[in-house]
A = this chain, B = another copy of it.
Amino acid sequence: MSSPTHTARNTTVQADTQAPPITATLARFVATHPSRGWSDAVEREAHRTLLNWLGCGIGAARHEATEAALAACQVLQPAAQAALLGRRERVDIGSAALINGIASHTFDFDDTHLKTIIHPAGPVASALLALAELTGASGRTLIDALVLGIDVSCRMGNVIYPQHYDRGWHITGSTGMLGAAAGCARLLGLDERATQMALGIAASQPVGLREQFGTMTKPLHPGAAARAGLMAALMAQHGYTASARALEAPRGFAQVLSTKFDWNEATDELGQRFEISFNTYKPFACGIVIHPAIDGCAQLREQGIRADQIERIELRVHPLVLELTGKKEPADGLSAKFSVYHGCAAGLIFGRAGEAEFADAVVHRADVVALRGKVVATVDTSVAEASADVTAVLTDGRRVQVFVEHATGSMQRPLSDAALDAKFHALVDPVLGAARADGLISHCRGLASAPDVRRLAALSQP
């Protein structure tokens, strides 16, 4: 009671004092929902989510953000408890959650829960793999915890989105600690009450300002959320307490961090509808708004059209595409991610636009530069944000048109398992080699029946 004076003053703020017991309800759900209590489709999506996260994390193992975070953690002389994805070092489980969470979001290539634009795996899977490795949990236990943890963070995202995001919160890190806490509570086998405390402890630790976009602190958000959630679960396990209404109370999580709180989003169809069903995986290592245009150009390539046949590419797109990604001559790989022109060139020349196609060297390649210059983009308000109209005008005068209503990787055209495997290989082969990548894919696909998660962790290290 630091200041009773100020406690009394807040009465003018419009508060919902009648909120339903969200914290208790979610805690009961996490603690008591049956193992694999969901459809085959949900089960499959959980494995795909894990594989995609693993690929993104391993792919960024040597990124300077990962290196800097590891160097800082090493000052603390961490115990060798858990694997770092794609690296030889082992660190304590808190540092592993942090660093793997950072790595998995560094390329902005991880999964997206499109209803809230949360990247759900980073906070949850990073905490879970570290903890599961220490406890020797089974694959089944990990998958269960992943599904339930992601359900909690995405449902709380649904409660407060979009006002929470619009206020300036990077929702991945500001809901991720709840998912990580829920998942870790489940993995530790905490009861309802302790799970409720874990959610409460985590609720006080949202991470992430959108101002950080474009810096290493953006991927810190899922990493720090992973660590915070993991520690919240461990603290609750050891008797640490928090408000039992931390999520819904007038001065609790949702009402402090948003002006919108649709409580029913937390509990409607709980245990029947799983938010991981709405997870998607980017085929292209850039903002989703460019994906339809890249997809269209890749489709032209599949039809046999080559770059040297191109007179120009006529692109009709939603106004937002040029507003956000209108860089005609990107200076490097990072700025190329904000160039629909580069995306089109990559799609037509390579048939893909993974992290490799946004390398500085590729951005400066003569054929890429030349093709970028032939893209003529025009705004068309009749084209939806999710769509793109691409016409190749060839040197022989032919016109070949492709209309992409929904890009590959969207909910309407989910990435196939084969495409997900290809994405995984593109990320992992340079770090661990193709053979190990294959081994990881097959091990990950059968993880639910693995007696121990440690094998997965070991396979993720060189």
Contact = CB atoms under 8 A, between A and B. Distances in A.
Contacts of A200: 212, 215, 217
Contacts of A429: none
Interface residues of A, number: 92
A379 to B, nearest CB: 14
A117 to B, nearest CB: 4
Most B C-beta atoms less than 10 A away, residue of A9, A76, A78, A251: A76
B166 A10 contact: yes
A108 to B, nearest CB: 6
A235 interface: yes
What 7 pairs across the A-B complex have the smallest Cβ distances? Answer: A168-B256, A168-B251, A77-B79, A4-B324, A71-B238, A1-B287, A217-B242
B241 A166 contact: no
A200 B206 CA distance: 16
26 contacts: A1-B108, A1-B286, A1-B337, A1-B338, A2-B288, A3-B287, A3-B288, A4-B288, A4-B324, A6-B117, A69-B238, A69-B240, A71-B239, A72-B235, A169-B256, A200-B215, A204-B221, A204-B224, A210-B256, A211-B243, A211-B253, A211-B256, A212-B242, A212-B243, A215-B243, A217-B243
Contacts of A239: 64, 67-68, 71
A152 interface: no
Interface string A277-318: 000000000111100000000000000000000000000000
Contacts of A5: 117, 288-289, 320, 385
B169 A211 contact: no
Contacts of A324: 1, 4, 7-8
Interface string A177-217: 00000000000000000000000110111111111111111
A68 B243 contact: no
A21 interface: no
Interface string A410-445: 000000000000000000000000000000000000
A246 interface: yes
A153 to B, nearest CB: 15
Nearest to A94: B76
A241 B216 contact: yes
A453 to B, nearest CB: 17
A91 B79 CA distance: 12
A107 to B, nearest CB: 11
Contact of A6 (B165, B286, B338): B165
A6 B209 CA distance: 14
A104 interface: no
A266 B210 CA distance: 22
Given A108-B1, A168-B255, A200-B217, A224 B240 contact: no
Interface string A208-250: 1111111111001100100010010011011111110110011
Contact of A209 (B1, B71, B256): B256
Nearest to A9: B166
Given A211-B243, A216-B242, 12 more contacts: A3-B117, A4-B325, A5-B288, A6-B162, A69-B235, A75-B93, A76-B78, A76-B92, A76-B94, A204-B224, A215-B242, A217-B241
B166 A72 contact: no
Given A200-B212, A242-B216, A234 B166 contact: no
